[in-house]
Amino acid sequence: MKIIFKSPKGIPDILPSEQKYWDFVKKIVETRSMAFGFEKLELPIFEDAKLYQKGTGLSSDIVQKEMYEVRRLGAENEEDEKDVKFALRPEFTPGVCRSYVEHGMFTRPQPVKLLSIGPLFRHDKPQKGRFRQFNQFNMEVIGNSDPLTDALLILLVWQIYADLGLKNEVVLKINNTGCKKCQPKIRKNIIAALENSRTRLCVDCQNKIYTNPLRVLDCKNESCQKIVANLPHIIDIICPDCKKHFMEVLEYLDELKVPYDLNPFLVRGFDYYTSTTFEICDKKDPTKKATLGGGGRYDNLIALYGGNDTPAIGFAGGFERIIDRIKEIEVKVPETSKTDIFIIQIGKQAKKIALNLIADLTEKHYHVSCAVGKDTLSSQLKVANKVRAKLAIIIGQRELLDKTVIIKDMRDTTQETVEMTELEGVLNDKLQREE
Ligand code: AMP
């Protein structure tokens, strides 16, 4: 065998053996968010690049260096491709807000709660927990500014990570990065403080001082971190309204018994964030880079896209990093691809009976499998064992004549002969047996 094609760098396949983890996370996210009144929203995989330039922000890493352009091969000179540049979606929030405005969701009872799940694309250096195509669950609550909304979203997030078995593995970090009114003051204060230590910052941060000073707070470079530790706390600079909002959020979290860590230097990578910001961090991640999720308020984004002034808050969690962590601590995950019944036939006549049985049982929603191309009992039983079938139905010459089948319980290897007419009842009894 010669491998001719490989998946692109940083874009892994999600193999059948991995599916149970994905199903596990998806099910928890969907069940928990539906309980809070979320509805599903599916978005295009690519959109007008300007959506992200305007929303995520020109000074963000995503827009500056991580977005993939989408173009039809050979379309450079065509009229319809000239004015719009499409980008593979690097995050969900701009698309959700675009959809909210485009489809007049402001006419529905507010807040509108939307859940999106799917792949995103960012050109980053592939490494553990960092891919070029990765998957998120993304929850947005649009149309309410009450601190209670922040607390309820954070409660939902906390419930999800607890259900995932990660309650003791993660810490919820929270901060408030100010509103439109106080952000210029925060910027000014941070720039002034950073200017004093400018030459000791890494080159990247030196370049960011005037374009995106808050991103310096997020730099993982050790010398930058030392400088950041002495910067003024954003919470001490924010306006009284933001302070009040923040205190109320914390009060509600205390009431709900959701544990949190106040982090005065927590900032997020997108330009639209205002007020409450929070992250789910892995307690054991020494790099402090690999968050398992993050979110916050973005009270100006809907208006930026042409909607009315509409406050909103959201959160996105990363499947790959969550699944990595679940595997590391060996969370028990249910098997999802299962074969309940394995059909074994011996002889040409039996094959036809087996065929009809497969048609009948699958029609009735049993999970059925067989070993096509294998004719001996032992070779078929071997496959039944491999796919961990619960029951095997064996049809041989004798059974054909008697209009019976043998049911072998693969879990304890007992077997019995059953009349065809009684087959379904016996199958149901056996399948209902506790594992
Ligand atoms: P963000 O959209 O940057 O706020 O990220 C939210 C979550 O998505 C992070 O906490 C990660 O779990 C996940 N994530 C972000 N970027 C990547 C990536 N390149 N590879 C894998 N997961 C990612």
pTM for this prediction: 0.91
Verify whether ligand 1 is closer than 6 Å to residue 325 (CB atom).
Answer: no
Query: E strands, 225-347, where?
Result: 261-262, 274-282, 293-297, 312-318, 341-345
Pick the residue whose CA is nearest to atom 1 on ligand 1: 294
- What distance in Å separates the CA atoms of residue 157 and residue 154, rounded to the nearest whole number? 5
- For 38-62, what is the mean pLDDT? 95
Q: Where is pLDDT greater, at 196 or 182?
A: 182
Cα(318) to ligand 1 centroid in Å equals: 5
Using alpha carbons, list the distances in angstroms from residue 100 to 105, 124, 165, 179. 5, 29, 33, 22
Does residue 130 have its Cβ closer than 6 Å to ligand 1?
yes
Atom 16, ligand 1: residue with shortest CA distance: 130
- For residue 157, CA distances in Å to 248, 300, 395 come to 18, 23, 51
Q: Same structural domain for residues 107 and 41?
A: yes
Backbone angles phi, psi at 141, to 5 degrees: -120, 110
In a domain, 404, yes or no: yes
229 located within any domain: no
Which one of 328, 358, 388 terminates a domain?
Answer: 328
Looking at the structure, do residues 301 and 379 belong to the same domain, yes or no? no
* Helices and strands in the chain, H and E counts: 17, 16
Tell me the pLDDT band of 73, cut-offs 50, 70 and 90. Answer: confident
Closest by Cα among 34, 56, 202 to 115: 34
Q: Would you say residue 363 lies in a domain?
A: yes
Tens of pLDDT, residue by residue over 76-89, are 665 555 678 999 99
Provide the CATH number for the domain around residue 376: 3.40.50.800
From 65, 68, 88, 134, give the residue whose CB has the most ligand 1 atoms within 8 Å, as the site to mutate. Answer: 134
In terms of residue numbers, what domain contains 382? Answer: 341-428
pLDDT band with cut points at 50, 70 and 90 for residue 271: confident
Could you tell me if 144 and 255 lie in one domain? yes
Give the angle subtended at the CA of 277 by the CAs of 274 and 283, to the nearest 5°.
160
31 and 159 within one domain: yes
Q: The CATH number of the domain where 245 resides is what? A: 3.30.930.10
Q: Which atom of ligand 1 sits closest to the CA of residue 322?
A: 12
97 and 50 share one domain: yes
Residue closest by Cα to atom 18 of ligand 1: 130
Ligand 1 centroid, distance to 66 Cα (angstroms)? 13
Question: How much is the pLDDT for 222?
Answer: 87
Residues in the chain: 435
* Counted domains in the chain: 2
Is there an atom of ligand 1 within 6 Å of 91 CB?
yes
Q: Using the 3D structure, point to which of 294, 328, 362 is the last residue of a domain.
A: 328
Does the C-beta of 271 come closer than 6 Å to ligand 1? no
